[in-house]
Structure 1
Amino acid sequence: MMKFFFFLIFMIPLCLLKNMFWLVQMMLFMLMFMFMNLSMTIDLYKNMSYMMSCDILSYGLILLSIWISILMIMASENLFKLNFYINYFLFNVIFLLLMLYLTFSTMNMFMFYLFFEGSLIPTLMLIIGWGYQPERIQAGMYLLFYTLFVSLPLLMGIFYLFNDLNCMLIYFLKFINLNMYMLYFSMILAFLVKMPMYFVHLWLPKAHVEAPVSGSMILAGIMLKLGGYGLMRLMIFLQEINMKLNYIWIVISLLGGFYISLKCFCQVDIKSLIAYSSVAHMSIVISGLMVMNYWGFIGSYILMIGHGLCSSGMFCLANISYERLHSRSLYINKGMMNFMPSMSLWWFLLLSSNMAAPPSMNLMGEISLINSLMSWSWLSMIMLMLVSFFSAGYSLYLYSFIQHGKYYSGIYSYYTGVSREYLMLFLHWFPLNIMVLKIDYSMIWF
């Protein structure tokens, strides 16, 4: 695992040279394929070096991080054209990838916390440095304070654990079962805000709307998954108390998911709609994790990977329209089928994946999560039906609103998609739908 770490470290000087924009991307492709060829077994930690190692959970999320980072660079060609601080931008992307890689691969609880918080800094830089509107400062503050406010209790909880058990390794904590209310809440809240759970989700739409396309992609693709990853790691030693309190989170998430789905129909900003749909998806993931059964666990994992690719792709599409029209309003982005018929196909493919149509990974994840929640209580079926129905509803609403209708008469000049954009969308959609063929790697763990 250290070899990939050093690979990223030695890529930093490359970012600071001139005309290295595409070379950095190619090097990340190389890193991606090297990492894909790691020998992985499903159940054990592998490739140990120092405090870093990798099991199937880390493996999938690290692959996703590298992949989204490659596509972030590909989506930000506009910065390259304008020569808008591209060296700093590349440095930011590499630094963020480094933080995420360390977060997912470290085995030490404190190091996990450190890199978990460290990934916030480059994200903040992306939003404040390359965002579009003056409100990006406020969005950055929201992001920072929501996350930091609940992170201090997590740090206290980690210190308490170390004081009590003299052990920080995540792997050894699975032999322990702690039944403490204060510890439970202090450990878990940071991840619920990061997910984000309903009631503490307000930072997400703000951050998404103000962020540049690369910021939105990494936020939707990876940052939301940090919360799920943390919960998966922590739930192991908080089992007993979670069984007492899990109904709180499940009820909040299912009701919140339904309410957010309705809120999607009220949005007039494309990015805002996609951001709210992310909150709805993550609410089902939280519910599945809190049920504490096998179906819920693997369903959350599959849906997190699927949503990372799908949501990121939709933000790319929103940005493609924004670069043409300089507006994200649904009322101005109408009748796009007249201008970009082939882009209509990509909108259709990614939005159909978003509403969990086969053969996407989202479908597999949602089937597992519905299974797990139904086994917990059949009453959850009511909310699940509504959330699933409305997720199809707002996806179709977005598609039909953008693609059909009379186009805005103020459009003076327009050009269709370029090959880079089609390639970028293909690289989102293809793994999202082809990985279903190898879904057994995610399904059969123990």
Structure 2
Amino acid sequence: MMKIFFMMLMVIPICFFKKFWLLNQFVYLILYFMVLVMSYSNFFVKISYFTGLDLFSYNLVMLSFMISSLMVISMSGSHNLNFYFFVNLCLVFFLLMIFGSLNFLYMYISFEFVLVPLVVLILGWGYQPERLMAGLYLFFYTLMVSLPLLILILYLYNYSGCMFFDYMKNNSTFFLYHFIMMFVFMVKLPMYLVHFWLPKAHVQAPVSGSMILAGLMLKIGGYGLIRIMYMYEYMYINYSYIWYSLSLVGSILVSMICLIQGDIKSLIAYSSISHMGMVIMGLLTMKTWGLMGSYMLMLSHGFCSSAMFYMANLFYMRTGSRSFFVNKGLIVYMPSSSMFWFILCAFNMSCPPSMNFISELMILSSMLSFWINSFLYFIMISFFCACFSYYLYSYSQHGLFSNMYTFSMMNMLEYLCLTMHIAPLIFLPLMMLSFF
């Protein structure tokens, strides 16, 4: 793993070369293929200096490189690109430290540091003045729940004498331990009731900020839950019904909130909260199918939601607005994008042959084994999810377009970015045997 980190450090000078964004793109793809040829297993491999890979971190590291290379494409015509490439590199570096760390303290430090380049991204390349408030929300939500975790980590180190995931075992069922451990990752996912920062950050962030927020930042919470589930299973068994109940009701309420949104990016952000609620429910069942279903839903949501934010930005660049009242009749204005938008809306509501469909089936089976009446709530979540996906597609594509133009072409880079988002959603389920 250290060769990946050192290679990323050596890339820093390339960020400041003039007109070298294509080289920056190739570096991420080279790193992606370096990770692709690495072996992985259920236990940690490629261990060096407190970093390593296992089944859960391997695909998330690959997702990080894939999304970051697509972020470079999305910002290719933006201002101050050299500094943007540096901020992007810092983000990916800290994300790799989170996903590749064997030490809880390393993971926590990277978890905090990843906030800094993200706030810089929102404040530096955001659109409206409200981005200042969005950055503040993001900063203080994370800070508020992270300080108690630092105190708990110091206490646990004093108790067990070790910070490695494999050795940190605790049979205590003290609720305060569990609450602090869970809450910090629930805010990052985010869970319903602590989700207010996400729509604000998404709406005010630039397209690349939205892509990395949806594609990678929300996955940190799920990855953290998987790690502490293996360390403190007694706490999970005793208290998981609390978070399960909140997520069950919250996913339905957030899906209904989606139906009253007037902003395209805001609707996609709320739909992310609904999907992350399903990830929480799958993990809290502590079943193999629930765990793998949640893990696959995290990966598929990373590609699908990132592509939807990219498409929303394409509409914004051409119409100058994200409002549904302006973005109408786009099937006439941008007919070449209509098929991509339809596929993404269908995959967002978990239609086959996407990976979302398989992962939600696995989560449903684990939810039924946890509580038999869960299927009633699951039906409601699926129904409302289908409703807001239909609403998102039909309201933006149909109707009378507000301007006088009748046709607009998309360029090849935009087609490439959308295709690279959609292809893994279809082909990854064909390689499902590698997950088991």
Classify the secondary structure of the residue corresponding to 1:172.
coil
Match of 1:88 in 2: 83
Q: Residue 115 in 1 paired to residue 113 in 2? A: no
Is the 1:295–1:371 contact (alpha carbons within 8 Å) kept by the matching residues of 2?
Answer: yes
Is the 1:177–1:237 contact (alpha carbons within 8 Å) kept by the matching residues of 2?
Answer: no
Q: Residue 284 in 1 paired to residue 278 in 2? A: yes
Is the 1:357–1:363 contact (alpha carbons within 8 Å) kept by the matching residues of 2?
Answer: yes
Q: Deviations over 1:281-327 (max 9, x none)?
A: 00011111111121111111000000000000000000011110110
Is the 1:178–1:239 contact (alpha carbons within 8 Å) kept by the matching residues of 2?
Answer: no
Match of 2:54 in 1: 55
Q: Which runs of 5+ in 1 are unaligned?
A: none
Classify the secondary structure of the residue corresponding to 1:439.
helix
* 2:121 pairs with one of 126, 147, 158: 126
CA distance in 1, matches of 2:250, 2:339: 31
Aligned-pair CA distance for 1:213: 0.1
CA distance in 1, matches of 2:405, 2:331: 17
Is the 2:329–2:400 contact (alpha carbons within 8 Å) kept by the matching residues of 1?
Answer: yes
Which amino acid letter does the alignment assign opposite residue 426 of structure 2? N
Is the 1:154–1:188 contact (alpha carbons within 8 Å) kept by the matching residues of 2?
Answer: no
Q: Residue 35 in 1 paired to residue 35 in 2? A: yes
Is the 2:293–2:362 contact (alpha carbons within 8 Å) kept by the matching residues of 1?
Answer: yes
Match of 2:182 in 1: 188
Q: Which runs of 5+ in 2 are unaligned?
A: none
Aligned-pair CA distance for 1:414: 6.0
Classify the secondary structure of the residue corresponding to 2:408.
coil
Aligned-pair CA distance for 1:45: 0.8
Match of 1:257 in 2: 251
User: Matches of residues 272-351 of structure 1 in structure 2 within 5 Å?
Assistant: 272-351=266-345
CA distance in 2, matches of 1:353, 1:436: 13
Which amino acid letter does the alignment assign opposite residue 166 of structure 1? G
Is the 1:274–1:314 contact (alpha carbons within 8 Å) kept by the matching residues of 2?
Answer: yes
Is the 2:165–2:231 contact (alpha carbons within 8 Å) kept by the matching residues of 1?
Answer: no
Match of 1:139 in 2: 134
Q: Residue 9 in 1 paired to residue 2 in 2? A: no
Which amino acid letter does the alignment assign opposite residue 78 of structure 1? G
Q: Residue 70 in 1 paired to residue 69 in 2? A: yes
Match of 2:377 in 1: 383
Classify the secondary structure of the residue corresponding to 2:430.
helix
Match of 1:157 in 2: 152
Which amino acid letter does the alignment assign opposite residue 376 of structure 1? F
Classify the secondary structure of the residue corresponding to 1:53.
strand
Which amino acid letter does the alignment assign opposite residue 46 of structure 2? N
Is the 1:260–1:280 contact (alpha carbons within 8 Å) kept by the matching residues of 2?
Answer: yes
CA distance in 1, matches of 2:289, 2:172: 23
* 1:418 pairs with one of 411, 414, 422: 411
After TM superposition, which residue ranges in structure 1, 4 or more long, deviate above 6 angstroms? Answer: none
Is the 1:324–1:414 contact (alpha carbons within 8 Å) kept by the matching residues of 2?
Answer: no
Classify the secondary structure of the residue corresponding to 2:63.
helix
Q: Deviations over 1:86-127 (max 9, x none)?
A: 111000000100000111001010010000111111111110
For normalisation by structure 2, the TM-score amounts to 0.98
Aligned-pair CA distance for 1:237: 2.1
Match of 1:403 in 2: 397
CA distance in 2, matches of 1:241, 1:19: 53
Classify the secondary structure of the residue corresponding to 2:52.
strand
CA distance in 2, matches of 1:107, 1:44: 11
Q: Deviations over 1:359-400 (max 9, x none)?
A: 111111111111111111111111110001111111111001
CA distance in 2, matches of 1:135, 1:413: 33
* 1:216 pairs with one of 210, 220, 233: 210
Aligned-pair CA distance for 1:72: 0.5
Classify the secondary structure of the residue corresponding to 1:296.
helix
CA distance in 1, matches of 2:220, 2:409: 36
* 1:238 pairs with one of 232, 235, 246: 232
Match of 1:373 in 2: 367
Is the 1:178–1:237 contact (alpha carbons within 8 Å) kept by the matching residues of 2?
Answer: no
CA distance in 1, matches of 2:173, 2:157: 16
Which amino acid letter does the alignment assign opposite residue 321 of structure 1? F
CA distance in 2, matches of 1:413, 1:429: 27
Q: Which sits farther off after the overlay, 308-317 or 339-348?
A: 339-348
